[in-house]
Amino acid sequence: MLAVAALAVGASPAMPASTATVTVQIKRLSFVPTTASIKTGDTVRWVNSDTQNHQVVSNNGSFVSPILGPGKTYSHRFTAAAIYRYHDGLNAAVKGTVRVTGPPPAVTIGASLPIIVYGQQVTLSGTASSGNPNERVTIYQQPYPQTSFAEMTTVLTTTGGAWNLVLTPSPKTLTQYQAKWNGRTSVTVGVQVRPRIRLSYRNGRFTTIVQSAASHARRSVQAQRLSRFGQWVTLKKVRLGGQSSAVFRLTLPTGKSQIRVAMSINQAGAGYLAGYSPTITVRRR
């Protein structure tokens, strides 16, 4: 459910006198229409017309919806001209585009990954509209739970006015970013963080460890098995110990089972998304 950004977006000019809202239907395997064309200041409203959950995720972190159940909606107002590519966070093969016309932004920003697993590397990049090298672009950040942006660092543009910044260390919790150049401010992009969940199996026992900037001691995870219908079924609720880890057993059917550990957004805690371990295969004779 992660995607690499192809385009950065940026600072917003004055809004047009009147704005409009365009609706995009979320189907099982597509967004309809696949491409929505709007003007600066207009809004796109996504409606889940399917019977399954979906999530609207911008490729560059400029917007991310919550997980949308059947009939639920999500709206985003576009304040800068650009081509915004996005995908379904629960099925990355389902893609869409929003084309926003209007004056080009003065400075742009995008994140290489809008959603990361704790510790995963992410890069910010963009351009200054002057197109000149050696222009100073100041980057601001607002990590959760801070209520305002603070200066993070300054980078210099290269050929074509492009700039690039590898975030070291990577965001430890939900963090929003802005770029400022020549008195203009870009749109805000965000990087959301999932806890890193590890899962191993040996001698009939599973071991799981949850890692993030916060302790998850005494919180719960769910041990899940993939059914033959392609759905994850919870087999056991497991409470984590003082080191945010647990050892547990599962009763599995004969044959091959695909197992993972999941942590809900409520158990992950404020500033984090739900998390999932890699899937492991267990064979029982």
Predicted confidence at residue 18, as pLDDT, reads 82
The confidence score (pLDDT) of residue 15 equals: 47
Class in CATH terms, 9-193: mainly beta
Q: How far is CA 132 from CA 10, 13, 159, 210, 216, in A?
A: 17, 21, 6, 45, 47
CB 68 within 8 A of CB 54: yes
Residue 285: predicted pLDDT: 84
How confident is the prediction along the chain (285 residues), in pLDDT tens digits per residue?
333 333 344 444 444 458 999 999 999 999 999 999 999 999 999 999 999 999 999 999 999 999 999 999 999 999 999 999 999 999 999 999 999 999 999 999 999 999 999 999 999 999 999 999 999 999 999 999 999 999 999 999 999 999 999 999 999 999 999 999 999 999 999 999 999 999 999 999 999 999 999 999 999 999 999 999 999 999 999 999 999 999 999 999 999 999 999 999 999 999 999 999 999 999 988
**What pLDDT sits at residue 121?**
97
CB of 125 closer than 8 Å to CB of 164: yes
The helix (run of H) or strand (run of E) holding residue 248 is strand 245-248
C-beta of residue 30 within 8 angstroms of C-beta of residue 36:
no
* Spans of all domains in the chain: 9-193, 195-284
Q: Which pLDDT value is given to residue 4? A: 34
Contact 253, 228 (CB under 8 A): no
Say which CATH class 195-284 falls into: mainly beta
DSSP state of 17: S
Tell me, yes or no, if the two domains 9-193 and 195-284 fold the same way: yes
- Note the pLDDT of residue 6: 35
| SS3 state of residue 161 | helix
> Which one-letter amino acid corresponds to residue 142?
Q
Q: Please tell me the predicted confidence (pLDDT) of residue 17.
A: 58
| DSSP reduced 3-state for 237 | strand
